């Protein structure tokens, strides 16, 4: 998930600086597992991007299969980010194939946020209202016209869907988390052929990250029948993302 610090209900195990892709160890008890997880992340994705943006790694836990990871901006310029992982959920030492797949899935998902929310994609201009016909507004700022997420929202979040989601955010998600999640799940059920997962309905940011993950880990849909399937194919129009997919798929083979 994007723009989220370690969950208040969880336990922070430690934090470590990342300098130009290099893990900076410290005396925290979890340093070895943090270094191990960072090396996997760093070697899985295009190094130019991770070196440029990721400046801190945080390990936290809120129990098994709750929040598995997060990506949060460290400043208001969208050019420095921290990667948050739960080592209970992201465990590449596991003998469980499902756990390994979920670990890969989490890393690919969070890298998708990095691709779509960095300062080349989002202008750090704070707005509180989404205006009709204007670029998509995120917590990080306003989407650049030709950004991945703005094109994604233009194509897949029509005015009515975006308005309904925005109303849920304003009326429930700032005060009542449980009701907020219930309303968002209702949005998913009402539009289930539009989303690849129920989590994707939580926001356009999560939707594009979930769709990116399906694009990387799955195959192109030859004859898409639903909006959800079209979302997988959305990324093939970008030559650089097709290249990233090729690199990532090659790098994860050793773990599958």
Phi-psi region of 226 (alpha: psi -120 to 50; beta: other; left: phi over 0): beta
Q: What is the pTM of this model?
A: 0.93
- Does the structure show a pLDDT above 60 at 8? no
> Beta strand pairing status for 69-73 and 22-23?
unpaired
pLDDT confidence of residue 37:
96
Is residue 230 within 8 A of residue 208, CB to CB? The reply is no
The CA distance from 87 to 216, in Å, is 23
Q: How confident is the model at residue 27 (pLDDT cuts 50, 70, 90)?
A: confident
Q: How confident is the model at residue 143 (pLDDT cuts 50, 70, 90)?
A: very high
- Does the structure show a pLDDT above 50 at 71? yes
Nearest to 56 by CA among 77, 39, 80, 75: 80
**Which class does domain 11-117 fall in?**
alpha beta
- Does the structure show a pLDDT above 50 at 7? no
Tens-digit pLDDT profile for residues 199-254: 999 999 999 999 999 999 999 999 999 999 999 999 999 999 999 999 999 999 99
pLDDT confidence of residue 9:
57
List CB contacts of 72: < 8 A, sequence separation 6 or more: 2, 3, 4, 5, 81, 82, 84
| 87 or 132, higher pLDDT | 87
User: Which residues of the chain form CATH 3.30.2010?
Assistant: 11-117
Give me the chain's average pLDDT, please. Answer: 91
Q: How confident is the model at residue 2 (pLDDT cuts 50, 70, 90)?
A: very low
> Using a CB cutoff of 8 Å and minimum separation of 24, what contacts does 212-221 make?
212/108, 212/109, 212/112, 212/115, 212/116, 212/241, 213/105, 213/108, 213/109, 213/112, 215/241, 215/245, 216/108, 216/112, 216/244, 216/245, 216/248, 216/249, 217/104, 217/105, 217/108, 217/249
pLDDT confidence of residue 65:
67
Is residue 61 within 8 A of residue 87, CB to CB? The reply is yes
């Amino acid at each position: 998930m994007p723009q989220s610090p370690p969950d208040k209900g969880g336990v922070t195990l430690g934090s470590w600086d990342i300098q130009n892709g290099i893990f900076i160890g410290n005396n925290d008890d979890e340093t070895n597992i943090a270094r191990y997880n960072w090396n996997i992340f760093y070697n899985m994705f295009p190094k130019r991007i991770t070196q440029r943006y990721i400046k801190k790694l945080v390990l936290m836990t809120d129990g098994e299969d709750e929040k598995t990871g997060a990506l949060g901006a460290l400043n208001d310029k969208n050019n420095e980010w921290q990667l948050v992982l739960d080592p209970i959920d992201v465990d590449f030492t596991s003998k469980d194939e499902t756990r390994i797949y979920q670990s890969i899935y989490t890393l690919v998902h969070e890298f998708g946020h990095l691709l779509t929310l960095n300062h080349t994609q989002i202008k750090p201009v704070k707005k509180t209202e989404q205006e009709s016909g204007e670029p998509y507004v995120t917590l990080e700022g306003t989407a650049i016209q030709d950004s991945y997420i703005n094109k994604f929202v233009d194509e897949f979040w029509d005015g009515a869907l975006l308005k309904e989601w925005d109303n849920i955010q304003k009326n429930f998600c700032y005060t009542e988390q449980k009701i907020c999640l219930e309303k968002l799940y209702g949005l998913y059920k009402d539009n289930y052929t539009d989303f690849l997962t129920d989590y994707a309905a939580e926001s356009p940011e999560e939707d594009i990250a979930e769709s990116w993950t399906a694009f990387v880990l799955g195959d192109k849909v030859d004859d898409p029948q639903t909006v959800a399937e079209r979302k997988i194919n959305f990324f093939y129009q970008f030559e650089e993302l097709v290249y990233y997919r090729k690199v990532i798929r090659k790098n994860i083979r050793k773990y599958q």
